């Protein structure tokens, strides 16, 4: 996969900064864990888990998770700046997978990283033969919802209440159909 660049970014000194997307493996698991904890601190209401819950899991739990739930890191040079995962949950229908755990660090936002991460999941889902990719987004997270809708996701009409986060948050399911005939 070719790196994306931060076109028009004045902080790049005229030279575009390349981002690369890399699968999380045992070799870079510590980087992913640092990103996972950062995302839970940065946006504690945006995910179906908590910082306390994440730090309680042993390394073997995380290794098992990346085996069953493909996960990717976005890198700027040697620094991870975001992540996303793909997995199935109890409510998934047979031809469906879900985009999960999407996050980009504040300094990298608005530079195409989020789009690259979403596209990584869409490409992996298409390669895996999935027909639909769903995701849940906090109703209050308007910026994320706009991103997903720009990427082709539309509301399914399903909602649920995430009580894991402090005070609870209403989640909206979005979906995109992939281009497999039939």
Q: How far is CA 48 from CA 18, 61, 75, in A?
A: 30, 17, 24
Q: How far is CA 100 from CA 2, 3, 155, in A?
A: 23, 22, 16
On whether the CB atoms of residues 137 and 144 are closer than 8 A, the answer is yes
Query: What is the predicted pLDDT for the residue at 180?
Result: 60
For the chain, the domain total comes to: 1
141 belongs to a structural domain: yes
114 belongs to a structural domain: yes
Vertex 118: Cα angle to 116 and 121 (nearest 5): 110
pLDDT at 1 over 50: no
- Of 21, 3, 5, 23, the residue nearest 13 (C-alpha): 5
* CATH code for the domain of 25: 3.40.630.30
Query: What is the predicted pLDDT for the residue at 111?
Result: 94
172 belongs to a structural domain: yes
14 belongs to a structural domain: yes
48 belongs to a structural domain: yes
Query: What is the predicted pLDDT for the residue at 71?
Result: 98
Q: What is the mean pLDDT of the chain?
A: 88
Which domain covers residue 159, as residue numbers? Answer: 4-177
pLDDT at 104 over 90: yes
Average of per-residue pLDDT across 83-102: 91
C-alpha span between 26 and 71 (Å, rounded) = 11
On whether the CB atoms of residues 86 and 97 are closer than 8 A, the answer is yes
Average of per-residue pLDDT across 3-13: 37
pLDDT at 4 over 70: no
Query: What is the predicted pLDDT for the residue at 69?
Result: 95
* Residue 17 binned pLDDT confidence (cut-offs 50, 70, 90): low
83 belongs to a structural domain: yes
Residue 170: count other Cβ atoms within 10 Å of its Cβ: 12
58 belongs to a structural domain: yes
Q: What is the pTM (predicted TM-score) of this model?
A: 0.86
pLDDT at 161 over 90: no
Query: What is the predicted pLDDT for the residue at 9?
Result: 38
Treating both helix axes as pointing N-terminal to C-terminal, what angle do 29-42 and 59-68 enclose, rounded to 10 degrees?
A: 90
* Residue 137 binned pLDDT confidence (cut-offs 50, 70, 90): very high
Residue given tokens 């999380």 in the structure block: 24
182 belongs to a structural domain: no
pLDDT at 7 over 70: no
Average of per-residue pLDDT across 8-34: 76
pLDDT tens, residue by residue, 63-81: 999 999 999 999 999 999 9
Average of per-residue pLDDT across 24-30: 97
């Amino acid at each position: 996969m070719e790196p994306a660049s931060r076109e028009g970014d004045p902080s790049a000194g005229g030279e575009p900064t390349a981002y690369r997307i890399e699968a999380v493996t045992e070799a870079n698991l510590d980087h992913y864990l640092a990103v996972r904890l950062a995302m839970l601190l940065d946006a504690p209401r945006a995910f179906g888990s908590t910082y306390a819950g994440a730090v309680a899991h042993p390394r073997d739990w995380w290794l098992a998770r990346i085996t069953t739930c493909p996960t990717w890191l976005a890198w700027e040079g040697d620094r991870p700046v975001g992540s996303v995962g793909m997995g199935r949950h109890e409510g998934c229908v047979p031809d469906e997978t879900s985009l999960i755990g999407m996050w980009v660090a504040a300094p990298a936002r608005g530079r195409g990283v989020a789009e690259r991460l979403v596209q990584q999941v869409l490409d992996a889902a298409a390669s895996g033969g999935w027909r639909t990719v769903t995701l849940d987004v906090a109703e209050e997270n308007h910026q994320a919802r706009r991103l997903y809708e720009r990427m082709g996701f539309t509301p399914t009409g399903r909602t649920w209440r995430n009580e894991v986060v402090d005070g609870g948050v209403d989640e909206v399911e979005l979906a995109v159909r992939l281009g497999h005939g039939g």
